[in-house]
Amino acid sequence: MRGKSLRLGAGSAWWGDRIEPAAALARQGRLDYLCFETMSEATMSAAQVRMRVDASYPGYDTYLDDRMYAVLEACAQNRTKIISNQGWANPAAAGARIIEIAREMGIGRLRVATVAGTVLQEFLASLNGVVFETNLPFQELPFQIVSVDPYLGAEWIVEALKQGADVVVTSRVADPSLFVAPIAFEFGWGLDQWERLGKATVVGHLLECAAQCMGGYYADPGYKEVPDLARIGFPLAEVDAEGDAVITKLPQAGGMVTAATLTEQLLYEIHDPAAYLTPDVVADFSGVQFQQLAKDRVRVSGGRGRPRTDTLKACVGCHEGYLAEDWFFFAGPGALEKAEYARTLLEERFRIVELRAEEVRIDFLGVNAVHGPISPRPASPPYEVGVRVAAKGRELREVNKVVREVDAMAVCGLAATGKRVPPRERVREVIGLHSILIPRSQVNVELKIMET
């Protein structure tokens, strides 16, 4: 810490996020910590599936090199520690790669900790919980299980920091925990100080989606204007010893920090604001207040917390079948009528080939593909319409029938049909995700320390 408040920056919101805003924070943010969230829901199961079929894939973030080359040197120079969930399915390999990169850059004495959480194998056979989404027992899931990954909390990151880590790379953790851990560690909080952990969780939740709290996923021309959106930066928080904070940004970065941008992010992916469950605490956002202190400086206060639960959430990935998606398109006079006729043709073709699919959708891009049945009827004829066909089922042979019928529309369909000839892969495996609750004792965590 370089002052009374702790300076934390957001390094990324998800796997595909930009790299440069994190580099800017590393160079100019005078940060104590830079925290990267690099996953989406499907990341862990996709990584595990890929490891099984591709011996050259090590199992960690495919952008690990890009992100670390961009920030490691500046972080080492500025004594900024890095917390990152780029470990995915193989944190040890990610840690080893970061050590290699650090050595290559001539960074001496860098300590890298890896935290890998798994569910004990012997437990899976006797797991008694229910699946959130269906309320049915886990043991009755009718699918082949591909992966089970638990959401860890802050405590193992805190332990790694206690052991002197400069960089902590983890498997899946609850996103706010990436920020709660350094806050709790630096201020010496016990992990049973629920009120403080609740406040730190507010900070983590605001920062975990990076630009989304400061003008990203926000602009609505004529209603919500965002300055210099093309150069939007990532946020940083100045956190005090009780867990309240000021959210701000680099002066030269695009975007803006206001109560309105923060309120949209506060509620993002939240259900009951008074009871947001994380591995660390049951956080209460219902009393949060935002106070604009100056341009792009907003004070956050009023977060509360209650004791954490006895369980951890885990994500179960199951092989559920296959999904196909393709499209063709019309433009000019009668585009919508042609799309409707094409849909009728496809439905008849699916009957002729005796398609056995779990679900088929035929949407019209430009008319109803985004909002579905609530889309209004077009007020005037759309100039162009895309016919998007998607289907899923257990059997690959059946799902492939859909792709074959869509291909046939290029030559055996209507006039002026535009159709892209794929190389693009149109059929993919469905790894369906379910959530279960497991006792904390059934999660195994491996912590390793490495040095350059």
CB of 96 to other proteins, least distance (A): 30
- Quick one: which of 99, 183, 257, 266 contacts other proteins (CB under 8 A)? 266
- Considering the complex, state which of residue 229 and residue 259 has its C-beta at the smaller distance from other proteins: 259
CA distance 161 to 159: 5
Binding mask 432-451 for other proteins (x = CB under 8 A): xx-x----------------
What 3-state class would DSSP assign to 304?
A: strand
CA distance 29 to 236: 8
Site for other proteins in 327-366 (CB under 8 A): 359-361, 363, 365
Q: Which stretch binds other proteins (CB under 8 A): 113-121, 180-188, 316-324, 438-446?
A: 316-324
Which of these, 116, 52, 60, lies nearest to 88 by C-alpha position? Answer: 60
Residue 369 found at the interface with other proteins (CB under 8 A) = yes
Strand partners, 169: 84, 114
Residue 378 found at the interface with other proteins (CB under 8 A) = no
Element (H, E) at 450: strand 443-451
Binding mask 221-240 for other proteins (x = CB under 8 A): --xx----------------
Do the strands 384-393 and 443-451 form a parallel or antiparallel pair, or are they unpaired? unpaired
CB of 60 to other proteins, least distance (A): 21
CA distance 433 to 41: 8
- Quick one: which of 4, 121, 190, 271 contacts other proteins (CB under 8 A)? 271
CB of 393 to other proteins, least distance (A): 11
Which of these, 205, 174, 179, 256, lies nearest to 6 by C-alpha position? Answer: 179
What 3-state class would DSSP assign to 195?
A: helix
Residue 129 found at the interface with other proteins (CB under 8 A) = no
CB of 360 to other proteins, least distance (A): 8
CB of 418 to other proteins, least distance (A): 18
What 3-state class would DSSP assign to 201?
A: helix
Burial class of 198 by CB neighbour count within 10 A (0 to 12, 13 to 18, 19+): buried
**Contact present, 107 and 439 (Cβ < 8 Å):** no
Residue 105 found at the interface with other proteins (CB under 8 A) = no
- Quick one: which of 268, 292, 299, 341 contacts other proteins (CB under 8 A)? 268
Residue 391 found at the interface with other proteins (CB under 8 A) = yes
CA distance 246 to 297: 6
Which of these, 97, 85, 83, lies nearest to 38 by C-alpha position? Answer: 85
Site for other proteins in 28-47 (CB under 8 A): 40-42, 45
CB of 30 to other proteins, least distance (A): 30
Residue 427 found at the interface with other proteins (CB under 8 A) = no
CA distance 168 to 111: 9
Q: Which stretch binds other proteins (CB under 8 A): 31-39, 83-91, 271-279, 410-418?
A: 271-279
Strand partners, 278: none
Q: Where are the alpha helices (DSSP H) in 250-334?
A: 259-266
Residue 272 found at the interface with other proteins (CB under 8 A) = yes
**Contact present, 300 and 288 (Cβ < 8 Å):** yes
Residue 284 found at the interface with other proteins (CB under 8 A) = no
Residue 400 found at the interface with other proteins (CB under 8 A) = no
- Quick one: which of 67, 97, 199, 388 contacts other proteins (CB under 8 A)? 388
Token pair, residue 28, equals 């100019």
Q: Where are the alpha helices (DSSP H) in 219-371?
A: 259-266, 335-352
Residue 133 found at the interface with other proteins (CB under 8 A) = yes
CB of 120 to other proteins, least distance (A): 24
Residue 288 found at the interface with other proteins (CB under 8 A) = yes
Token pair, residue 262, equals 């923060």
CB of 261 to other proteins, least distance (A): 10
End-to-end C-alpha distance for the chain, whole angstroms = 23
**Contact present, 245 and 235 (Cβ < 8 Å):** no
- Quick one: which of 370, 379, 411, 415 contacts other proteins (CB under 8 A)? 370
Positions that interact with other proteins (CB under 8 A): 40-42, 45, 132-133, 217-218, 220, 223-224, 259-260, 263-274, 285-290, 317, 320, 323, 325, 359-361, 363, 365, 369-374, 388, 390-392, 430-433, 435
